[in-house]
Amino acid sequence: MIEDIELAKNIIAKRIAREFKNNQLVNLGIGLPTMVANHIPQGVNVILQSENGMIGMGPAPEPGKENPEVTNAGGAMVTILPHGCYFDSATSFALIRGKHVEYTVLGALEVDQEGSLASWIIPGKKVPGMGGAMDLVVGAKNVIVSTLHTERGKPKILKKCRLPLTARHVVNMIVTELGVFRVTPGGLALIEINKDTTIDEIRANTEADFIVSDNLKTMEV
Amino acid sequence: MFDKIINKNDFTSLIKDGMVIMVGGFLGCGTPETLIDLVLASGAKNLTLICNDTSFVDRGVGRLVAAKQAAKVITSHIGTNPETGKQMVEGTLNVELVPQGTLAERIRCAGAGLGGVLTPTGVGTVVEEGKQKITVDGHEYLLELPLRADLAIINGSSVDKAGNVVYNATTRNFNPLMAMAASVVVVEAEKLVEPGALMPELVMTPGPLVTHIFKSEKR
């Protein structure tokens, strides 16, 4: 296992950043998914959407250049790049639901082998609300879940989610620090593996059933 | 000529107990803080608030929740305002959580004179409970109903005296949608200009939608 959580998160972010192609519209969730933006390869121009109403989102402002009218979906001050623009919330979610966003990357409380995702509520404990997550996973062309493989030793990739769902059967890919899974009609397939782990270790830390792809590759990070 | 500009007393006289109020803003960005000050000062109770999120305890619409002036909130996210969750658990605040895109469309469709929208969002989740499901071309959708309000309070970056509004950057969010969906619409104008000063091509909310204009006291 990879014990260093910051290292693990960076492995996940780096790997996801390699998925994107030039000029694709991408929505990154708050937290670990936001880190993906730091690893987008040189020469790949990805257009970032923030669902509160902009595309072409840039990095955090330099000190002294903060503008409280330019914020991201987490309420943090950001910048806009020269190709960017602003719009209202209905247009923003039309982009999302209308399949105009190529990738959405978001975290998970639980994700399962059928591609269902639970990410917005722990009944009785934590009820933040779903925000834009339900629309994003239903509407984006590709849904990537970025998550540490386990939380406090417990698997996060399950046979079936137990928490209330964000959406059912929507996830295309799951990226953890140990490997990359693709959700296929036949079930979950491990398609890439971190060189610092083994298939046995992944099996021991995954509740879901999965097959190992005939074409298993080393995870490039 | 347009006679839309109102003062504090005029605005306060619009506020009634039990009203349904839409409040523009996204985590406090693009929210009419001075109008919220006045709703707070009015002491109005049992309000139903419709807002993207309940912001923070000390910012935007979150202040109305913290002051216990709301009986119900219809919103997509309450995680940044612990007071909302606390009152919900205590049973003093009814919280209806709505997916953000659905919230936007429920408001937009009310303002556009439509009887609802069909969305795939929420199918197979708790959000579908009690809602009609309709299949179109083999795809399942939820019928989501329009959301209207007695009053919308919105924030405009530049407003002319005819009520035309321009919103800067990400302050736009829910403001132009709410401007179409309430019986009375009050815009808090950060900058108030003469008709003709705004480029007509860039106006985001057409003047006739705005009932009243209040000059912001935000610094």
Mean pLDDT of chain B: 97
DSSP state of B208: G
Per DSSP bridges, beta strands A187-193 and A210-218 are parallel
Q: Which residues of B touch A93 (CB under 8 A)?
A: 100-101, 104-105
Q: Sort out which chain B residues have CB atoms less than 8 A from A114's CB and list them.
A: none
Alpha carbon distance B175, B196 (integer Å):
22
| 8 A C-beta contact, residue B184 and residue B151 | yes
Instruction: Pick the residue of A52, A165, A169 with the most B CBs within 10 A to test the interface with B by mutation.
Output: A52
Largest CA distance in chain B: 55
CB B213 within 8 A of CB B189: yes
Least Cα separation, residue A121 to chain B (angstroms): 10
Residue B203, classed as helix, strand or coil, is: coil
Mutate to test the interface with A, among B88, B121, B174 (most CBs of A within 10 A): B121
Q: Is B151 on the interface with A (CB under 8 A)?
A: no
* Domain-wise residue ranges, chain B: 18-215
Kindly list the residues from chain A whose CB atom is less than 8 angstroms away from the CB atom of residue B33.
none
Provide CB contacts within 8 A for A87, sequence distance 6+.
A53, A54, A95, B172
- What is the mean pLDDT for each group of 10 consecutive residues in chain A (221 residues)? 92 97 96 93 95 96 96 96 97 98 98 97 93 98 98 96 98 98 96 97 98 96 82
Between β-strands A157-158 and A25-28, what pairing exists: parallel, antiparallel or unpaired? unpaired
Q: How many residues does chain B have?
A: 219
Rounded CA gap, A127 and B107, in Å?
Answer: 23
Beta bridge partners of A211: A189
- Region of B39 (left: φ > 0; alpha: ψ -120 to 50; beta: rest) is alpha
Q: Do A129 and B176 touch (CB under 8 A)?
A: no
- Give yes or no for a contact between B125 and A167, defined as CB atoms under 8 angstroms apart: yes
Beta-bridge mates of residue A181: A174, A190
Beta bridge mates, A57: A80
Contact, B164 vs B198, CB < 8 A?
yes
Task: With a threshold of 0.85, tell me whether the complex ipTM lies above it.
Answer: yes
Angle in degrees, 0-180, between the axes of helices B100-111 and A89-97, rounded to the nearest 10: 120
Nearest CA distance, B25 vs chain A (angstrom):
9
| pLDDT exceeds 90 at position B219 | no
| Rounded Cα distance, B125 and B121, in Å | 9
Q: What is the pLDDT of residue B59?
A: 97
pLDDT tens-digit profile of B179-198?
999 999 999 999 999 999 99
What are the tens digits of pLDDT across the range B98-123? 999 999 999 999 999 999 999 999 99
Identify the structural domains of chain A with CATH numbers, from first to last.
5-218 (3.40.1080.10)
The pLDDT, as a whole number, for residue B218 is 81
The string of DSSP codes covering B95-146 is EEE--HHHHHHHHHHHHTT-S-EEESTTTTSGGGTT--EEEETTEEEEEE--
Q: What residues of A are labeled active site?
A: 51
DSSP SS3 for A53: coil
pLDDT of residue A3: 87
CATH value of B18-215 in 3.40.50.720, 3.40.630.30, 3.50.50.60, 3.40.1080.10: 3.40.1080.10
Q: How far is B79 from chain A (nearest CA, A)?
A: 4
Confidence check: pLDDT of B143 > 80: yes
pLDDT at residue B137 is higher than 70:
yes
Amino acid, single-letter form, for residue B164: N
- Nearest-angstrom CA–CA distance, A75 and A68: 9
Residue A221's pLDDT is what? 82
Cα–Cα dist B189/A146, whole Å? 42
CA B43/CA A82 separation, integer angstroms: 45
